[in-house]
Amino acid sequence: MSDIPPEGSAPFEVVETAVTDDAAFQAYARERGWSDGLPMLAPTVERVEAMLATVDAPPDHVVATLAPSNRRATLADIAANAVMAGGSPDRFPVAVAAIAAVADPAFNLEAVQTTTHTVSTLVFVNGPVRGSGFNSGAGMFGTGNEANATTGRAVRLCLQNIGGARSPNPDRSTQGSPAKFTYCGAEAEEDNPWEPLHVQRGFAADVSTVTVFGGESPHNIQDHVSTEPAGILHTAAGTIGAIGSNNVYYGGEILVLLCPEHAATIADGGWTRNDVQGFLFQHARNSLRELKRGGMWGMQWWPEWFYAVDEDALLPVVREPEDLVIVVAGGPGKHSSCVHSWGATRSVTRPVLTEHLSRLDAT
């Protein structure tokens, strides 16, 4: 950059950096508050331009305004952070779509960025763009996959460096989360016996999309013995209904990631996705008496009818069956998972575009 901004200001209004050597850039980034603690690549003009070449819009095109700083995220800003994350240009449009999605008011970005909760932004990919290296199978949220790791990290760096969410203020997360480094996966659409997530949300199967979900780290659901749908889903309901989750008190969505083996067993039993949602809605419950023991009692946002029931009545962990978002992902091994959300946030799906980028603002 030709003019070095003060620490904490938007660093990439001009993408040229005074330090182009990757080794020297580490200290340079730390001094300016740009680092997430991991090694970074210097956002040189050449690297940033390679990112920008994958989208048909000028570098100063404003993709979103990011809370809590309320700074504008231009394509150049996003590209510089994607370079620092180690990202590849062919996956840059995914990061751009994710930044457009988190700015949707339904996502409630300011709350997600500033809460004491562990919430982070999960970037979930559907459609043909998965073929650019995204892992939807074994170890999807783990190590070893460049596309998942760098795309999730690029979005996180944008939320930190443009949105301003640095710990301990204004990111006040009590314990933080490893998902605040990177959090990205893709759906195993070929293993989904029902419609994949983006098709459920009105997109054609051949359209690439990204969904952002304000959630915790995944919580394991293991069932190695059930041979019928109800057995697997009883196990899942017990995990989903955890009384320590925000969803119990605030509502919102829960992402249910069924592994291919569990999904196949459920579908082979004749169950539809709606059946899965209905079963989990009915069984992932806790009594009002239990919920009054602690948790967030007295702070909850509940429908009025919740207060009118007997103390032994079972209350749902979400408000509607559709708030249980069902996807299929992972490899063999009969481990599924759920991702509880912060509660007062809704997932948002946007198309991944490589041209006519202004459509992102209107979709």
Residues 6 or more apart whose Cβ sits within 8 Å of residue 201: 209, 211, 349
Return the pLDDT at 17.
59
State residue 213's pLDDT score: 98
pTM of the model: 0.93
Count how many Cα atoms sit within 13 Å of the Cα of residue 117 in the half-sphere of its side chain.
25
Give the count of alpha carbons within 13 A of 288, CB side only: 11
List the pLDDT tens digit at each of the 363 positions of the chain: 323 333 434 445 444 556 889 999 999 999 889 999 999 999 999 999 999 999 999 999 999 999 999 999 999 999 999 999 999 999 999 999 999 999 999 999 999 999 999 999 999 999 999 999 999 999 999 999 999 999 999 999 999 999 999 999 999 999 999 999 999 999 999 999 999 999 999 999 999 999 999 999 999 999 999 999 999 999 999 999 999 999 999 999 999 999 999 999 999 999 999 999 999 999 999 999 999 998 888 888 888 888 888 999 999 999 999 999 999 999 999 999 999 999 999 999 999 986 545 444 444
Q: Nearest-CA neighbor of 120 among 363, 351, 355, 339?
A: 339
Beta strands at 120-126 and 209-215: parallel, antiparallel or unpaired = antiparallel
Cβ count within 10 A of residue 179: 21
Burial, 207: exposed, middle or buried (Cβ in 10 Å; 0-12, 13-18, 19+)? Answer: middle
What gap in Å lies between CA 239 and CA 287, rounded to an integer? 15
